[in-house]
Amino acid sequence: MPGSARLCLISGLLVLGLAVFNALTADTFTPALQRAEVLSGMAAVGLMLVAVLWTRAVPRNPKSVALQGEQGLVIADGLGEALRTELAWGSHQFLTATSAATILVNWDGAVLLRRGLITKEPFRPGEICQRSAKRQALVSLVKTALYPGRQEFDAVLPGLPAVMVQPLGQRGWIVLGGWSERCFTRSDERWLAGWAERLKTQLEQISVVGDSAQQAAPKEL
pLDDT of res. 190:
95
Residue 220 has pLDDT above 60, yes or no: no
Q: Stretch 2-27: mean pLDDT, rounded?
A: 78
Q: What is the 3-state secondary structure (H, E, C) of the chain?
A: CCHHHHHHHHHHHHHHHHHHHHHHHCCCCCHHHHHHHHHHHHHHHHHHHHHHHHHHHCCCCCCCCCCCCEEEEEECCCCCHHHHHHHHHHHHHHHHHCCEEEEEEEECCEEEEEEEEECCCCCCCCHHHHHHHHHCCCEEECCHHHCHHHHHHCCCCCCCCEEEEEECCCCEEEEEEECCCCCCCHHHHHHHHHHHHHHHHHHHHHHHHHHHHHHHCCCCC
Q: What is the pLDDT of residues 138-161, one digit of tens each?
A: 999 999 989 988 899 999 999 999
Quickly state the pLDDT bin for 1 (edges 50, 70, 90): low
pLDDT of res. 2:
63
Q: Stretch 93-111: mean pLDDT, rounded?
A: 95
Whole-model pTM above 0.95? no
Fold of 70-213: Beta-Lactamase (3.30.450)
pLDDT of res. 125:
94
Q: Stretch 190-212: mean pLDDT, rounded?
A: 82
pLDDT of res. 162:
95
pLDDT of res. 61:
63
Work out the mean pLDDT of the chain and round it to a whole number: 85
